[in-house]
Amino acid sequence: MQDRSHLLTEQRLAQSVDLDAMDLPAAAALMNAQDAAAVVAVNTAIPQIVQVIQMAADALAGDGRVFYVGAGTSGRLGVLDAAECPPTFRTSPDRIVGIMAGGPAAMFAAQEGAEDRPDDGASALAAHNVGPADLVIGIAAGGTTPFVHGALARARQCGARSAFITCIQETAHDPPVDATIRLLVGPEVLTGSTRLKAATATKLALNMITTLAMVRLGKVYQNLMVDLRATNQKLWDRGTRILCTLTGLDRAAALQLLRQADGHVKAALVMHRHQLTLEQARARLEACGGQLRAALEG
């Protein structure tokens, strides 16, 4: 059994040694103050996060995929981020994939011991036929999760690019990867409970990776989610408002335009700017690599 007492995530926070004796306002204020460390840690790691954003954008711009691999809270955060991409950016669910130790059931109930098997991590990647076009991002707040290490080792064997997100200092056991994001938030208010600020910092980093990768891929124009297709009332409303904002049309005219574009905001904008049919607008977007700014200009 490995002694993990030297890791930052396993150390005790001096300010919370009397947590059980604190009154609730003081305890809540302490947790809130400690949560601020997550933002600082992410800011410090921005150069490495940018590296991973570019790797993700490169993979997704071609035939590659992005895989998040983790266990427990770290795994759930990866699965969550992957699951949020299709409705936000209209990506295919098989382009950004969350893999969790213990399988889908572990999202809702802890699968104790599932994280301790490196071969399972390797097998999970093998099941997805991971190859050189792909990016594998291992997430392990405490840094030592065998499932994650096994997956990252498999990624290298397959020629895939790889990254590691962790909340501990550099150790001799760090996995060999193309980029490491260290979110050094320090000890938790509740010792060892990395579902707290370590998880907060991880979620912030994942938000950056997928959001800015999608911006690079043309899923965003200005700061608007233009690569959406209206499929429910909320999205019809949002799409209509985006068209109003960018075209100056009134709401009724914008909604009519969106209907003519079969609910596709990007296509509607190109149709309006260049007075094209839906088919012509789609062809123009394709010729511009899906980049709306390029399709609108020129």
Catalytic residues: 84, 115
DSSP secondary structure, the chain, as one string: ----TTSGGGSPPGGGTTGGGS-HHHHHHHHHHHHHHHHHHHHHTHHHHHHHHHHHHHHHHTT--EEEEE-HHHHHHHHHHHHHHHHHH---TTTEEEEETT-GGGGTS--TTGGG-HHHHHHHHHHTT--TT-EEEEEETTS--HHHHHHHHHHHHTT-EEEEEESS---TT----SEEEE----S-SSTT-TTTHHHHHHHHHHHHHHHHHHHHTT--BTTB--S-B--SHHHHHHHHHHHHHHH---HHHHHHHHHHTTTBHHHHHHHHHHT--HHHHHHHHHHTTT-HHHHH--
